[in-house]
Structure 1
Amino acid sequence: MKLVFKTPDSLVNNRMIVIKKDVPCLDSSWHYHAQYELIYITKSTGIRFVGDSVSHFAPGDLVLVGPYLPHLWRNDASYYEEQKKNNVLTFVTKFNRNFLGEETFRIPAFQEIAKLLSDSKYGVSFGKETSDFLHDELINMENVPPAEQRIKFLNILHHLSLSENRTLLSSSDMRQFATENEQKIDEVLKFISDNYTSYITLNDVAKVACMTSNSFCRFFKRMTNKSFTEFLNEVRVRNASRLLIENNLSIAEVGYTVGFNTPTNFSKRFKQIMGCTPSNFLEAI
């Protein structure tokens, strides 16, 4: 499966749509589209990929994704294996920049929103404080008439543009303006997210992409801006941080659980990615 370019038909005339997704698991394709997308997760957990960013997501996750920026919210494996037990609840607003008119965000009064929309080419994540504050507005968007939707959504964008509780996700501009038939990144990301707890070699993942190891290394670096090893370690560490918070496992047990072969290696990689050791991370919680 290649990197997918998606075009929502309902946006052709409406310029903005609000979607409530109450489904067994999230759409797991690595994709991009020409629209902006505000994604609010209220139920489910997993790994989030936005450009070259990798992070764990949980209820309260609120992210603005800009046009042509590849992204994927991949649920934990249990959601795909036990679909009747683990539902997800997500609210998505897809919109064009001109959803209120061609010149709206060139007006000086909306310069902060214009800056936010510009930053969205990297993906913008908002903290739990912001998503909690906007929770009622976000989940009720689908229940109001189109005109009121636009007014409410402008207000949401206004609050987001003023929020200091936000982070740019991708470290570089990873926007895609053309597809390539040979892209195999979708299968690779799924394989990593489903098997990161096991021993995975470069040859294993190169086979998933139907490439030689050397070709795969170049391909993966071009698509994610990271080496395969860097990317795999980041997936493991992001999941380890969740386990350290949610479970009563020891630090060594968490390291083994997410796929590291020694506590020393786990601590070293954790500090590289998180900026502190696992023990310091626990002390700060």
Structure 2
Amino acid sequence: MKLVLKNSDSVVVKKLDIYTRDVPCLDAVWHYHPEFELLYISKSNGIRFVGDSVAPFFPGDLVLVGSYIPHLWRNDPSYYEKSSKKEVKTIVTKFTKDFLGDGFFNKTEFYEISKLLDACKFGLSFGKEISKTLHKDIIDLPKISSTEQHIKLLSILHKLSLVEEKDRVILSSSDMRQTTTESSERIDTVLKYISDNYSKSIALDDISNVACMTTNSFCRFFKKMTNKSFTQFLNEIRIRNASRILVQENIPVSEVCYIVGFNSITNFNKQFKQIMGATPKKFREAI
């Protein structure tokens, strides 16, 4: 498994591709591609990686990913169990900037959409209200004709371009767009291992061995590839998953702490407040 550049070697790149995914682990690898990608989660939950952003996703999650930014959606481990009956439904819309013709979005009339496509180079997540508003339009996309898809996507992008800044979140804190696959196999192996084992104890020696590197080399490598230290990244995955559990399950905070891999309630509370801006108890009460 490796971080891969998708579609770059195709003689003919499809300018608009819309489909429904109904299986877990939306992509097998942390990857990037020249197309823009609009992902709408109708059913399932888990954690997503966009650039250096780590966050849980829920039904209704709507994200626009720009060209060449590494991303990966991973369902919760329970989705991969053989006996699992959990449903997955995601609408994936991939499109090139010229899917309506060369220079189409350079026209004055489409200035706002052009700004939107530029802003999503870091990844954009949209709020619940716009997600609800666009739910039917996006769900219907795979079912309509190609002509209708082009018209409907233009309409969706127009509506997204008008969303106020308070209702959209820039995901990656830095520009992590890729132009090379150097060292990609290592980081993909590491990310997959972390996302599959975050609830267990992962020592620095353990993860360095996964990457086949010394601890010092691994720390430098991981920081360069993700813009975060390994400990910071692991804590974020654990806390983001904890926040999802607090929203979806009626499980005591003290139990959530251990479910996501912390072995100290004090450290859990400290990390949660640092990352989420509130204690687990206050976070749950505010929902």
TM-score by length of 1: 0.95
Unaligned runs of 5+ in 2: none
2:186 alignment counterpart: 184
Residue of structure 1 aligned with 2:233, choices 228, 231, 234: 231
Equivalence map 1:72-221=2 (5 Å): 72-82=72-82, 85-164=85-164, 165-181=167-183, 183-221=185-223
Work out the CA distance in 1 between the residues paired with 2:194 and 2:227.
16
Deviations 1:117-168 (A, max 9, x none): 0011100001121111111111111222222211110000000111122111
SS in 2 for 1:94: strand
The Cα of 1:182 is off from its aligned counterpart by 5.8
Work out the CA distance in 2 between the residues paired with 1:99 and 1:131.
23
The Cα of 1:27 is off from its aligned counterpart by 2.1
Structure 2 CA distance for partners of 1:224 and 1:83, relative to 1, 3 Å = farther
Number of residues paired by the alignment? Answer: 285
1:251 alignment counterpart: 253
2:35 alignment counterpart: 35
Asked whether the equivalents of residues 11 and 95 of structure 1 are also in contact (C-alpha less than 8 Å), the reply is no
The Cα of 1:179 is off from its aligned counterpart by 1.0
Asked whether the equivalents of residues 24 and 75 of structure 2 are also in contact (C-alpha less than 8 Å), the reply is no
Work out the CA distance in 2 between the residues paired with 1:182 and 1:172.
18
SS in 2 for 1:100: coil
Asked whether the equivalents of residues 46 and 56 of structure 1 are also in contact (C-alpha less than 8 Å), the reply is yes
Work out the CA distance in 1 between the residues paired with 2:26 and 2:247.
24
The Cα of 1:14 is off from its aligned counterpart by 3.8
Q: Counterpart of 1:36 in structure 2: which amino acid?
A: F
SS in 2 for 1:12: coil
The Cα of 1:197 is off from its aligned counterpart by 1.1
Structure 2 CA distance for partners of 1:217 and 1:150, relative to 1, 3 Å = same
* RMSD of aligned Cα (Å): 1.7
Work out the CA distance in 2 between the residues paired with 1:124 and 1:15.
21
SS in 2 for 1:87: coil
Work out the CA distance in 2 between the residues paired with 1:133 and 1:67.
25
Asked whether the equivalents of residues 70 and 176 of structure 2 are also in contact (C-alpha less than 8 Å), the reply is yes
Asked whether the equivalents of residues 11 and 17 of structure 1 are also in contact (C-alpha less than 8 Å), the reply is no
1:64 alignment counterpart: 64
The Cα of 1:109 is off from its aligned counterpart by 1.5
Structure 2 CA distance for partners of 1:245 and 1:13, relative to 1, 3 Å = closer
Unaligned runs of 5+ in 1: none
Work out the CA distance in 2 between the residues paired with 1:25 and 1:278.
28
Structure 2 CA distance for partners of 1:6 and 1:14, relative to 1, 3 Å = closer
Work out the CA distance in 1 between the residues paired with 2:13 and 2:101.
13
Structure 2 CA distance for partners of 1:140 and 1:264, relative to 1, 3 Å = same
